Chains A and B, each alone.
Chain A
Amino acid sequence: MSRKIVSLLLAALLLIGCLPALAEEAVTVVDMHDREITLTEPVTRIVAMQPSDCEILCAIGCEDALVGIGQYCDYPASITSLPVVQSGAETNVEEILALEPQVVLMNDMSQSEEQVKQLEENGVKVVVSKATDIEGVYYAIRMIGALMGKQDAAEAVVADMQATFDDIRAKVQDEGKTVYFEVSPLQYGLWTAGKGTFMDELAGICGLTNAFDDVDDWASISEEQVIARDPDYIVTITMYFGEGPLPVDEILAREGWQDMKAVKNGQVFNASDSNALSRPGPRLKDAAVELYNFVYGEAGEVAPAA
Chain B
Amino acid sequence: MNDARSLRRERFAPVTYALLTAGLLLTMVLCVCVGSVPITLSDTVTAVWNALWGLPIPQNIAKNIILNVRLPRVLCVALAGASLSLCGAAMQGLLRNPLADGSTIGVSSGAALGAVIAMAAGITLPGSGYGGVMLTAMAFAFGSLVLILSLAYALDRSLATNSIILIGVIFTMFISSIISLVVTFASEHTRSLNFWTLGSFSGVNYDQAKLLGLALLVCGSVILRYSHELNAFAVGEDNARHIGVNVKRVKLIILITISALIGVCVSISGTVSFVGLVMPHIARMLVGPNHRRLLPAALFAGAIFLLLADLAARTLFSPIELSIGVVTSLVGAVAFVIIFYRTRKAG
Chain A residues in the interface with B (C-beta under 8 A): 184, 186-190, 212, 214-215, 219-225, 227-228, 230, 239, 241, 243, 255-259
Contact = CB atoms under 8 A, between A and B. Distances in A.
B162 interface: no
Interface stretch (B6-14, B58-66, B241-249): B58-66
B31 to A, nearest CB: 12
A145 to B, nearest CB: 34
A188 B69 contact: no
A221 B122 CA distance: 29
Contact of A259 (B36, B64, B195, B321): B64
A221 B203 CA distance: 11
B69 A223 contact: yes
Contacts of A186: 202-203
A255 B191 contact: no
Interface string B109-140: 00000000000001000000000000000000
Contacts of B65: 224, 227-228, 256
Nearest to B202: A189
A222 B204 CA distance: 12
A220 B320 contact: yes
B290 to A, nearest CB: 40
Contacts of A239: 188
Interface string B37-52: 1000000000000000
Contacts of B319: 212, 214-215, 219, 221-222, 225
14 contacts: A189-B195, A189-B321, A190-B202, A215-B319, A219-B320, A220-B321, A222-B314, A222-B319, A224-B69, A225-B36, A227-B61, A227-B64, A243-B122, A259-B61
B189 A241 contact: yes
A209 to B, nearest CB: 15
* Max count, chain B CB within 10 A of own CB: residue among A190, A225, A239, A259: A225
Given A215-B320, A228-B65, A189 B70 contact: no
Which of B35, B36, B320 has the most chain A CB atoms closer than 10 A to its own CB? B320
Contacts, number: 83
B70 A224 contact: yes
Centre residue among B37, B67, B70, B192 by max chain A CB count within 10 A: B37
A188 B270 CA distance: 10
Contacts of B320: 215, 219-222
Interface in B178-210: 188-189, 191-192, 194-195, 200, 202-203, 205
A230 B68 CA distance: 15
B205 to A, nearest CB: 6
Residues of A contacting B: mostly: loop
A126 B196 CA distance: 37
A222 B59 contact: no
Nearest to B68: A256
Given A189-B195, A256-B68, A224 B36 contact: yes
B200 A189 contact: yes
Interface in B312-347: 314, 318-323
Question: 10 tightest CB-CB pairs across the interface, nearest first?
Answer: A256-B68, A186-B203, A256-B64, A228-B37, A225-B319, A189-B202, A255-B68, A241-B188, A222-B36, A224-B37
A255 B63 CA distance: 11
Contacts of B205: 255
Contact of A189 (B35, B36, B37, B203): B203
Nearest to B129: A244
A224 B200 contact: no
Nearest to B64: A256
Contact of A190 (B35, B68, B203): B203
Contacts of B36: 222, 224-225
Contacts of B68: 255-257
Contact of B69 (A212, A215, A227): A227
Contacts of B318: 222, 225
B64 A221 contact: no
A243 B64 contact: no
Given A212-B319, A227-B65, 11 more contacts: A187-B203, A189-B194, A189-B203, A222-B35, A222-B319, A222-B321, A225-B36, A227-B61, A227-B69, A255-B68, A256-B69
B203 A223 contact: yes
B191 A188 contact: yes
Given A189-B200, A228-B65, A259 B189 contact: no
Interface in B293-323: 314, 318-323
Contacts of A220: 202, 320-323
A174 B200 CA distance: 37
Contacts of A228: 37, 61, 65
A181 to B, nearest CB: 14
Nearest to B321: A222
Contacts of B321: 189-190, 220-222
Nearest to B315: A222
Contacts of A257: 64, 68
A87 B311 CA distance: 38
Nearest to A224: B37
Contacts of B70: 224
Nearest to B188: A241
A214 B249 CA distance: 58
B310 to A, nearest CB: 11
B12 to A, nearest CB: 36
Contacts of A219: 319-320
Contacts of B322: 220
Nearest to B198: A189
A224 B202 CA distance: 10
Contacts of B59: 259
Contacts of A215: 319-320
